[in-house]
Amino acid sequence: MEVRNDKAAKDKLVELIKDARIAMLTTRHADRSMHSRPMGTIEAEFDGHLWFMTDKSAEMVTELQAIPDVAITYSDERKQNYVSISGRAEILHDPAKVKDLWSEFLRVWFPKGPADPSIALLKVTVDCAEYWDAPSSMMLHAYGYVKAVTTGERPHPGDQVAVNY
């Protein structure tokens, strides 16, 4: 696996997650078991942080206050793009930031709008990320299949890159 810290690798990471509206966010319980749940990523300029909104009374808030380590995954099977992110989460209560990050997409979970006092912000500071950027065309997949059957060799699955922050 290639490890990179350059702007191009970070830009590629942003490109891979920008259209993925839903991520799987994994937290750790006090008993060390893990729990994943879908979360809507808030569109914001990526500066090494990801933003989510949650209900301040959600069990996840208590988990994150005890153990702030998280894993976040994105996948786009159609394009064969996959991203895994690890970082540290913090819960913020900042009405001005909520208003700044608000979109009508969030009203599904917060029908009272951005002034809803139950909204908590979840800010994830990214430590590192990995992405797999595979060829997505059916012709390339067909070629990979034929190569595997005829030669017994696996096709090149695309790039796997680790990005450190």
Give 39's strand partners: 23
- For the ranges 5-14, 38-47, 73-82, 140-149, which has the lowest average pLDDT? 140-149
pLDDT of residue 111: 96
Q: What residue numbers bound the domain in which 56 lies?
A: 2-164
- What is the pLDDT confidence band of residue 142, given thresholds at 50, 70 and 90? low
Instruction: In whole angstroms, give the CA distance from residue 45 to residue 30.
Output: 32
Task: Look up tokens 């879908």; give the residue.
Answer: 38
pLDDT of residue 139: 47
Count the domains in the chain.
Answer: 1
Task: Look up tokens 């490890």; give the residue.
Answer: 3
Mean pLDDT of 84-95: 97
First-last CA distance in the chain: 17
Q: Are strands 81-92 and 119-133 parallel, antiparallel or unpaired?
A: antiparallel
Question: Which CATH number is 142's domain given?
Answer: 2.30.110.10
143 close to 153: Cβ distance less than 8 angstroms = no
